Structure 1
Amino acid sequence: RGSGATMKKQFNRMRQLANQTVGRAEKTEVLSEDLLQVEKRLELVKQVSHSTHKKLTACLQGQQGAEADKRSKKLPLTTLAQCLVEGSAILGDDTLLGKMLKLCGEAEDKLAQELIHFELQVERDVIEPLFLLAEVEIPNIQKQRKHLAKLVLDMDSSRTRWQQTSKSSGLSSGLQPAGAKADALREEMEEAANRVEICRDQLSADMYSFVAKEIDYANYFQTLIEVQAEYHRKSLALLQAVLPQIKAQQEAWVEKPSFGKPLEEHLTISGREIAFPIEACVTMLLECGMQEEGLFRVAPSASKLKKLKAALDCCVVDVQEYSADPHAIAGALKSYLRELPEPLMTFELYDEWIQASNIQEQDKRLQALWNACEKLPKANHNNIRYLIKFLSKLSEYQDVNKMTPSNMAIVLGPNLLWPQAEGNITEMMTTVSLQIVGIIEPEPIIQHADWFFPGEIEFNITGNYGSPVHVNHNANYSSMPSPDMDPADRRQPEQARRPLSVATDNMMLEFYKKDGMGVRVMDTSWVARRGSSAGRKASCAPPTMQPPA
């Protein structure tokens, strides 16, 4: 009986809806215009909330709905932290990489914990409320709205049938059953109207409540930003706390590359007064290279030079291996000087060095050069003094090694001083003339090293270098002598080379000629033109004046 009544009610609804659709029956609208607008907004808010919930959930790195411990295990940051800590254990805490991996691993683990806390909070305060809004609250209101529409159809249907019965009853007023049927339909109509009113009032209350709670819904997004801000603040605080520790480990690690690094930085980090490459090369050359012909002039094997430079950068040198190749040691020393960001004789004093070297009167020139020396920063002064003392000692063997102070000035000058600004070709060519003079400039300083830098000097400061038996390798040395820049260095990027190095190379070519065997050797005839060897040695006599006080 109940199912029959239900089917009849559905039939009446369908007939009423069909009549309303074609305009044969009146449609009752029980919602105000404001609530009809709210109804449209409900659907839009539902779509936006659903889409936002979906995208925000996709941003979670941990497993949604899982507890903190389970979420942590599958978090990418957690696995990264574990990898770093395990790598630290493999490499060992006594290595810089091991220390870095451990510190970074611990930091990443803390960041992972902050991320888990952040995601749990976002899930609780934003994602779940958005889900309830899009999938529960709004659908419930929409479901109630559909129920109201059915009740309205029932009311309209009962009214239509009552009106039709009343008309029939009026035409045949003597028929009692027709009146009884009309009364029954009126009662049905009144009950339907009562149900519509109750449902409409409930729906209206829910819709107005939805409108009033829009500020609460908007607060979900404010909460998202606040939680994100707090997460990033805590993460930043963690990173800022660990960065000084990381930097401290880096700064405390003395095994840092020295080639291409500022002199002061290298000395500060290593706690030295003399740059490691300078001391290492000089000490080895004192043992195995003093009588080597063409030292600093003959180009070494490019592969040997590269290997030695790399070893010096690691502060690891096999003295026995390189004692067999003094030209590689000399080449490494020149490379270190050339690759300094600022020349050993400094950019600031460049003009003063050039002006001093142009003074014709010897005593005044020496006085000007001495003044320039005294203006050098302490680190530069110590290293120039060390180097000049060594070159002075090397010149004592000039009859064997053919490296007079002038020759040394020619091949080493461009590595000790160069102008700071790189201009266009015209400007560079203008500077070449100054550079040529500047190349000869160290010559009097080498000649009068004890006057410029009085006192003895201990070359092997650290005592880390042995004393291999010296062998003259010049007889079986097969490498071709070359200008100041060897071919391997010529292939380096332009920025790795110092200004005017090309001009220096070209100038050096003037001092080379080919012998009968096709091997280039230094043309020393220009030395004879400037005076005999004896005459040159005589000019090396100490100046009559005393060094300035």
Structure 2
Amino acid sequence: FHSSPCHSYRLANGRIGMLLAIIVEKRLELVKQVSHSTHKKLTACLQGQQGVDVEKRSKKLPLTTLAQCLVEGAAVLGDDSLLGKMLKLCGETQEKMALELILFEFTIERDVVEPLYELAEVEIPNIQKQRKHLAKLVLDMDSARTRFHQSSKSGMSSNVQPGAKGEHLREEMEEAANRMEICRDQLSADMYNFVAKEMDYASYFQTLIEVQAEYHRKSLELLQNILPQIKAHQETWVEKPCYGKPLEEHLALSGRDIAFPIEACVTMLLECGMQEEGLFRVAPSASKLKKLKASLDCGVMDVQEYSADPHAIAGALKSYLRELPEPLMTFELYDEWIQASNIQDQDKRLQALLTACEKLPLANGNNFKYLIKFLAKLDDYEDENKMTPGNIAIVLGPNLLWTTQEGNITEMMTTVSLQIVGIMEPIIQHADWFFPGEIEFNVTGNYGSPVHTNHNANYSSMPSPDMDHSDRKHNDQSRRPLSVATDNMMLEFYKKDGPSAQGPRKPS
């Protein structure tokens, strides 16, 4: 039997179709698995309840709950507090963010989640059902053909013409073949459509990224719009921390020329602490010092309470100077100060120190002058407080000038500290020459004049037992000023090995 070219062509095409069908069937199952898994994970990412309106979906969002909490908190605290203002602004912003999130999830659900579900749970399963149905129709056709052929053979063997039964079997076979052919054509069309629509299926993921990008752009725009308002409220808020903050920042924010802790402590000490023995040397109670620093950070000074505790006031002033990010006498001028201290000729040394003073930035210069004029007044009570210019320089100098370079404690207790004493002592001794004229210490006029009482009996010359470790140890001990205990050790060292107590001659 020799087949015609047309028959061979159909046979070849049939084989190609079968191979394509096998390949597509395998791909169908893989795409179904991936689509189903992606749909499941993507659905889990949606925070709102699916298939409900905006209002119901909004109530389920964590962002909406957070926004409500913030707004309620703002109402409790009130708009007259900075925290209340921040809560209100943030609450309103979170509410807008929640709305953007709802719109984002609606779009994702409509344009990505639902199409993926349709692909994984409807389109591909329908093609797979069609394939199973075709397999059944093929079996039906084979069965009908077998019955027809058996009937034909039986008739041929008995030389009997096919009757009504044979005709019925032929029609049944042809009908089964026709149904199979229609189903196969439909299945082929569905498979070709599936292959052709791969670009459409891929576009679901492009849409996912595009919608995410738009959502994040809008969210970022919301946040960027609210940030200037938040910063403006913070910048205009009067009550700002001052400890550990740059001097110029504190002065700019508070609208002052003299730092609040410096003025508050100096004014108070002028009224109630000038005769206290060991002022700036004797350690205050750690708890009292901590409380005073906290109150100064809030812009508050209880005159009546702290007038009875001058050592706490002195400690708070030292702490403020010590905790400045940059020393009052600046890092930039450090080498110049040290070089001036090494000059042997006293008049030339004073002139060099004056030159360095004049190079201080305006804010630093104003506060340094204010402090030096106060320390000169403290020296007027030397007989009562036992604080000579040299002693004052020892305990306060390292809080006014230090280096950025690393160093050890021994070095700080010897060469460097002695150099700083050599800078501070003559400046205090000759304050009126460095800074001529009188100065008004109570710049803001906010402090009273409590009666002075002596409280030395309540203090020892060593740190108090309740001074905790964090108050003794500072962030950068290798270059930061040392503790009160070290101040006392330096006093002894200075008396033995330091420059003479007489100091330089009065400048001409």
Report the TM-score, using the length of structure 2 for normalisation. 0.91
- Find the aligned partners of 2:395 and 2:269 in 1 and give their Cα distance: 16
Among 201, 218, 234, the residue aligned to 1:234: 218
Q: Cα–Cα, structure 1 residues 396 and 311, in superposed 2: closer, same or farther, change >3 Å?
A: same
Among 289, 294, 311, the residue aligned to 1:327: 311
- Contact 1:338-1:498 at 8 Å conserved across structures: no
Q: Matched residue of 2:89: which SS?
A: helix
Q: Matched residue of 2:448: which SS?
A: coil
Among 503, 509, 514, the residue aligned to 2:489: 509
1:413 alignment counterpart: 397
1:315 alignment counterpart: 299
Q: What residue identity is the alignment partner of 1:163?
A: H
- Contact 2:474-2:480 at 8 Å conserved across structures: no
For residues 451-483 of structure 1, what are the alpha-carbon distances to aligned partners after superposition, in whole Å with 9 as ceiling and x for unaligned? 111121110111111111111222x32x21138
Q: Cα–Cα, structure 1 residues 218 and 34, in superposed 2: closer, same or farther, change >3 Å?
A: same
2:445 alignment counterpart: 463
1:133 correspondence with 2:119? yes
Structure 2 residue runs of 5 or longer lacking an equivalent are 1-13
Superposed displacement of residue 506, structure 1: 4.6
1:340 alignment counterpart: 324
- Contact 1:290-1:397 at 8 Å conserved across structures: yes
Comparing 317-326 with 398-407, greater Cα deviation is found at 398-407
Q: What residue identity is the alignment partner of 1:219?
A: S
Superposed displacement of residue 111, structure 1: 0.3
- Contact 1:308-1:329 at 8 Å conserved across structures: yes
Q: Matched residue of 2:475: which SS?
A: helix
Superposed displacement of residue 508, structure 1: 3.6
Q: How many residues align?
A: 495
Q: Cα–Cα, structure 1 residues 95 and 312, in superposed 2: closer, same or farther, change >3 Å?
A: same
Q: Matched residue of 1:381: which SS?
A: helix
1:114 alignment counterpart: 100
1:151 correspondence with 2:131? no
- Find the aligned partners of 1:111 and 1:218 in 2 and give their Cα distance: 29
Q: What residue identity is the alignment partner of 1:480?
A: S
Q: What residue identity is the alignment partner of 1:468?
A: P
Q: What residue identity is the alignment partner of 1:291?
A: Q
1:393 alignment counterpart: 377
1:76 alignment counterpart: 62
1:350 correspondence with 2:314? no
Q: Give aligned-pair identity as a percent.
A: 71
1:48 correspondence with 2:34? yes
Q: Map residues 4-403 of structure 1 onto 2, 5 A cutoff.
A: 32-173=18-159, 175-176=160-161, 180-403=164-387
1:519 alignment counterpart: none
Q: What residue identity is the alignment partner of 2:507?
A: P
- Find the aligned partners of 2:265 and 2:246 in 1 and give their Cα distance: 18
Q: What residue identity is the alignment partner of 1:509?
A: M
Structure 1 residue runs of 5 or longer lacking an equivalent are 1-27, 513-522, 545-549
- Find the aligned partners of 1:63 and 1:524 in 2 and give their Cα distance: 76
Superposed displacement of residue 504, structure 1: 8.9
For residues 466-514 of structure 1, what are the alpha-carbon distances to aligned partners after superposition, in whole Å with 9 as ceiling and x for unaligned? 111111222x32x2113899954675555254616459955741545xx
For residues 500-547 of structure 1, what are the alpha-carbon distances to aligned partners after superposition, in whole Å with 9 as ceiling and x for unaligned? 6459955741545xxxxxxxxxx997699946xxxx5xx787522xxx
- Contact 1:339-1:496 at 8 Å conserved across structures: no
Cα RMSD for the two superposed structures: 2.7
Q: What residue identity is the alignment partner of 2:289?
A: L
Q: What residue identity is the alignment partner of 2:327?
A: P
Comparing 42-51 with 179-188, greater Cα deviation is found at 179-188
For residues 145-203 of structure 1, what are the alpha-carbon distances to aligned partners after superposition, in whole Å with 9 as ceiling and x for unaligned? 22211111111111112222222222211x45x65533332221111111111111112
2:8 alignment counterpart: none
Q: Cα–Cα, structure 1 residues 104 and 306, in superposed 2: closer, same or farther, change >3 Å?
A: same
1:451 alignment counterpart: 433
Q: What residue identity is the alignment partner of 1:543?
A: P
For residues 79-103 of structure 1, what are the alpha-carbon distances to aligned partners after superposition, in whole Å with 9 as ceiling and x for unaligned? 1111101100100111110011011
For residues 300-355 of structure 1, what are the alpha-carbon distances to aligned partners after superposition, in whole Å with 9 as ceiling and x for unaligned? 11111111111111111111000001011011111111111111111111111111
Q: Cα–Cα, structure 1 residues 483 and 413, in superposed 2: closer, same or farther, change >3 Å?
A: farther
1:499 correspondence with 2:463? no
- Find the aligned partners of 1:471 and 1:113 in 2 and give their Cα distance: 65
- Find the aligned partners of 2:100 and 2:251 in 1 and give their Cα distance: 41
